[in-house]
Each structure stands twice: as C-alpha cells, then as structure tokens.
Structure 1
Amino acid sequence: MIPNYQEFMRPFLEIAQAADGAEVKLRDVINQIADQFNLSEDERTETLPSGRQSTLDNRIGWARTYLTKAGLLEVTRRAHFVITDRGIKALQDPNTLINNHYLKQFDEFIAFKEQKNDSSSTEKASTEVIESSANETTPDEVLRAAYKQINDALASDILSRTRKVSPAFFEQLLIDLLLAMGYGGSDEGMAHTLGKSGDNGVDGVINQDPLGVDQIYIQAKRYAEGNNVSSGDIRGFFGALNLKKAQKGIFITTSEFTSSATQTAKDLGMRIVLINGKELAKLMLRYNIGSRDEQVLSLKKIDEEFFEV
C-alpha cells in the first residue's frame, strides 16, 4: 500500500540532508523513497484516475510542495531542491513527526493553506473542508474523490430513470449512445431500431460503413434491478446473430448478467459484448446521453520549462 503524502515528508528531508548541502533531484528522491518503503513495481506504476501521473509521484510531489511552502526545502532550479536550516532543525529530533500539524507552526505555511490575503469567506470555508478531509490524501485526491462521489450519484439516478422509460425510447436511447461513441459515423441514418415482432430478438443495428456491409447488432433488455439476464438470453441472442450472419453483437441491460450468462458469452467467443446497468449509466454520463455538462473544472500545474533560464 502506498503511504499517504505526509508519511513522505521526513524521508524527503532526510534524503535532502544526506546530500550535505548539494541539491537533490526530485526523480532521484522519488526512487529512493520507493526503495525505502519497499514498494512493489505495481505500486510504483499505479496511476491516478486521469492516467497522466503515478500516485507515488503525486503524493511525493505534494510532500515536496508543503515542505517548500513551509520553508524546510528550497527550490534551486527545475525539479531540484536543497534542504534549508529550518529543514535541518526539523530533523534533529528523530521522534519529531513531520506532517501538516508540524508545518502549521510556520507563518509561510499557514498563509499558503489559508490564503489570508486574498481569499473570500467561501474560499476559506472550502480550504477548511479540504484540510479536514486531507489528513491522508492530497488535495487533488480529495477533489477526485468528490468528483467520483458526484458521478456515482448521477449514474445511480440516470440508471433509475432509464429503467422507467418506454421500450421504444430505451432502444432509441441506445442508438443515440452508440452514435455518440463513434459507431456508425456521424450519419444518423446509419443506425436504426428493429424492435418489432419477429425480429428474432435483435432490437437494433448500427451500420459501420456507408453501404452497411459491416454491422453491429444490439439486444436491449430494460430490466428492473434484480431481474438479471440469464445464459438462455445470451444463447438466444447468439442464435439471432447466426441467423443474420452477423459477426458482432452488443447485449445491453439495465440490470446485471448472471455468472452463467457471462460465462456463456465468453464460451461463445468475443462476438458478444456485455454491458450491464452500471456500465451503461457510466457511458451515458461520459457521452452526455440524458445528462449535460454543468461546469468544467481544469486542474493546472506549473510549467517548469517556462521558468527555466
């Protein structure tokens, strides 16, 4: 398990102190700390949900930021640091726990956390919430956790609403989703529903080329929670695909697939993709089907190259 960012503060300072006045490179510090904590390769390469940065880099980076803001480290150049006299003093007692509470004795750190000079009361309140929530997690991890919580609630709501729409509306919803995902190109005429009696269980089809040579067939089951799709449903859809000489099929439900249904789909090969209710709701949120963007927040970071001289 990767330690929280505050647990990296003392090791970071100790590595900087061991350099005996010379600067240390952030990447070297990260590697040494990973070795000290005996982190596995998976832990070293585990990434944040964005996939753009490793969790380890992110947490050690925040430890470095807080130590720098408190005056225990000093930036010398891009991604290079030296320990300050204040940092050396902090390490004198090996029993001293260096964390956010310790750093609060320094005015610079308090100013950084509270932004006293230019924060509105709303911003200060937000800072306090993050501070109380971030004893073990970094501020951006708190933000991402809040984002996930909001999206999970929205996914639950959108799935509940989807289960209540009419069959025709549901089938068209799925066509709209697949078009938004890039299937069938941009031409709405390349997708149509087939939800009529005698359709051999196939509810819709997406043409992936202008001539309709390559098609994806869709089976849609708007089931209530607990009414799970069985292996018999999967075999029936597989038979319908064979009748149409189709090579690809997507089976979508607002409930779940039984374990035997999942196994049946695997045994029949990779021709049938299964999408359960939770996955459907996440896709609808991602492609704004039944939802819309209310506000877009961008996480910024310093462009180190800009400040290089």
Structure 2
Amino acid sequence: MELPKYHETFIPILETLNNKESLKSRELALQVRDKYYSDLPRELLNQKTRTGANVLIDRILWGKSYLKMAKFVSYPQRGMVQMTEKGKKALEIGELPLEQLQNDPDFINHRESVKSKKENDVELDKINVENASPQDLIDSGFSDIETEVKTELLERLKEIDPYYFEKVILILLKKMGYGDYVETSKSGDGGIDGIINEDKLGLEKIYTQAKRYNENKVREKDIRNFIGAMSGDTSKGVFITTSTFDDSAVKKAREAHHTIILIDGAKLVDLMHQYNVGVQVKTVYEVKEVDNDFFEGE
C-alpha cells in the first residue's frame, strides 16, 4: 500500500465537495483523508515531509490547487473551496486523469498568465521523472510551487481595493530601490496614481499609473491619457496592470517621446515574488555536498 499521488485525489476531492455549498481548505483535506484513505497503515497516514507537514494532507491540498487552476473548483472567499459546474460534469464522468487536466484550456491559460517570459525557460512541467536527475526534480518542484504562488498572488491583486492596489505598486517600487513615493489625490489626479523618486535625493521623478483589471486589456487610449497627464517636470512613467496590454497600447508607449515602461500581470507578480512584496518565505531547504577541501589535509 502507498499514499495516493496528488492527481489521484482529484475525484475524491470533487466527491467530497458534491452537494456542499463550500468547505474550508483544511476541512476539505481532512474529510477526503478520513473518507477515502483511512484504511491506510498509520505509518503512511502520519508520514511527514522534511519540513514537518503531513504528506497526505499536502498532496490533497495540491490536488485542490490543480483543480482550481483548471476551474473544476473555485474559491468563493478566502480559505474556502467550492465545486463549479465544470467540476460537477467531471464528477459525472467519474474520472479526471492528470494528462486531461494538464491539457485543459483553462489550466493552460491559468499557467500561461504568470509564466516567465525568459527566452531560455526550461519546460519543467513536462519533465520525464524516470530520466530526470535529482537536481531536475528539485528545479521542477520549485517551479511548480512558484507558479502556484504567483497565480494566487495575481488573483489576490485582482480582488483588492483599486486604491490599495495603487499603494502596493508604490511599495514594490520602493522595495526595488527607488526613493520615496507620494500617493496622489484620489480625485482629480489626472491619471497619475503616484510619484516616485528615481534616486534617493528626488532629483528625478517617475510617474506611475496602476490599473487593476480582471480581463480587460489596457488600450492605446489609456496610454495616451497617461502621457497627457504627465507634467513638464518628468518624461518617465511606469504603467502597471494586472491584465495585459493590447498591441496598440504597446505601440503607443514605444513611440512616445516619453520613456514609458509597461508592466503586465505576469511581470508584476514576477517582481513581487522576487522582492518579497505580498509573499513570505515559507520553508528553507538546504542541499549539501561533500566539502572536498576539508579532506585536502589527509
């Protein structure tokens, strides 16, 4: 007997959520464990990860996360899980293989929304476990965790108050090493949400515009209005959104006499993750190797 893989918990999770309005994440995991896996040996049920987490509960929670990415479940409010109509249809079929979920359009779109745009990204999601080195597996695991954190972070950004979102952007830029910032008035700000100092002394200023969009793309008109709102004391601006920029907006920013930097949702969560804004370190792993210098004195 062995513990189920995380993808083997998909149907048990959906069955547990069936006919329920919603469940807390932790309560869901416990109910799945007790209903479907209580006959496993106690040593398996109590098995821990190196960081002390229960392995089975951790896998069930990962199963829930993957179902969320593909919209088989939703989070109606913080910490709560609810089955969607799509999840009900999958439950009627009675099976949901991992390959099917990974090829689901909603899952693909969800992953792509925060995927790094580095030119030489390794396709860690498609790693062949049997032929992978231990380092490959570590990198793949970290990639999966990072993607999950970024997708959740982007969702949270899309839910927060628009004014607070503007402040989050200023906090991020401050963490990135820019100088002090000033929040503009919420009425009559002319399309400028904040003013940051490019240097510590405030000799150069950068104007910011933050748009908290769910699906709508930033368009050329938005960029044009932003440029028009910039006063004569600066020619630099940063336009940030939780969504994306359409081609006309990108073209307008590129051709402007001002220097306009565009940051979309994927780049935004990359920066927040890198500079620890809105996230915190959960676990630190140490990987050790033999110190050959230690044995030089033999």
TM-score, L = length of structure 2: 0.54
CA RMSD of aligned residues (A): 2.9
Q: How many residues align?
A: 179
CA offset at residue 211 of structure 1? 4.4
Alignment of 1:178-189 (within 5 A): 178-184=173-179
Partner secondary structure for residue 159 of structure 2: coil
Deviations 1:240-281 (A, max 9, x none): 22x243132110001101122112222226711111011111
Does structure 1 retain, via aligned residues, the 8 Å contact 2:237–2:258? no
Letter in 2 for 1:193: E
> What is the distance in 2 between the residues matched to 1:303 and 1:270?
53
Q: What residue is the counterpart of 2:197 in the other structure?
A: 207
Q: What residue is the counterpart of 2:131 in the other structure?
A: 136
1:237 and 2:232 correspond = no
> CA 1:253–1:123 in structure 2 vs 1: closer, same or farther (change >3 Å)?
closer
CA offset at residue 201 of structure 1? 0.8
> What is the distance in 1 between the residues matched to 2:48 and 2:201?
57
Identity of aligned residues (%): 39
Partner secondary structure for residue 163 of structure 1: helix
Q: What residue is the counterpart of 1:296 in the other structure?
A: 284
Q: What residue is the counterpart of 1:194 in the other structure?
A: 184
Q: What residue is the counterpart of 2:7 in the other structure?
A: none
Q: 1:157 aligns with which of 139, 152, 158?
A: 152
Unaligned residue ranges in structure 2 (runs of 5+): 1-46, 56-126
> What is the distance in 1 between the residues matched to 2:184 and 2:152?
28
Alignment of 1:212-291 (within 5 A): 212-225=202-215, 227-241=216-230, 243-268=231-256, 271-291=259-279
Does structure 1 retain, via aligned residues, the 8 Å contact 2:272–2:279? yes
Unaligned residue ranges in structure 1 (runs of 5+): 1-120, 127-131, 185-189
> What is the distance in 2 between the residues matched to 1:299 and 1:256?
38
> What is the distance in 2 between the residues matched to 1:123 and 1:292?
20
> CA 1:136–1:180 in structure 2 vs 1: closer, same or farther (change >3 Å)?
same
> What is the distance in 1 between the residues matched to 2:219 and 2:49?
52
Residue range with higher mean Cα deviation, 286-295 or 193-202: 193-202
Partner secondary structure for residue 281 of structure 2: coil
TM-score, L = length of structure 1: 0.52
1:146 and 2:146 correspond = no
Deviation >4 Å, runs of 4+: 121-124
> What is the distance in 2 between the residues matched to 1:275 and 1:246?
19
> CA 1:196–1:139 in structure 2 vs 1: closer, same or farther (change >3 Å)?
same
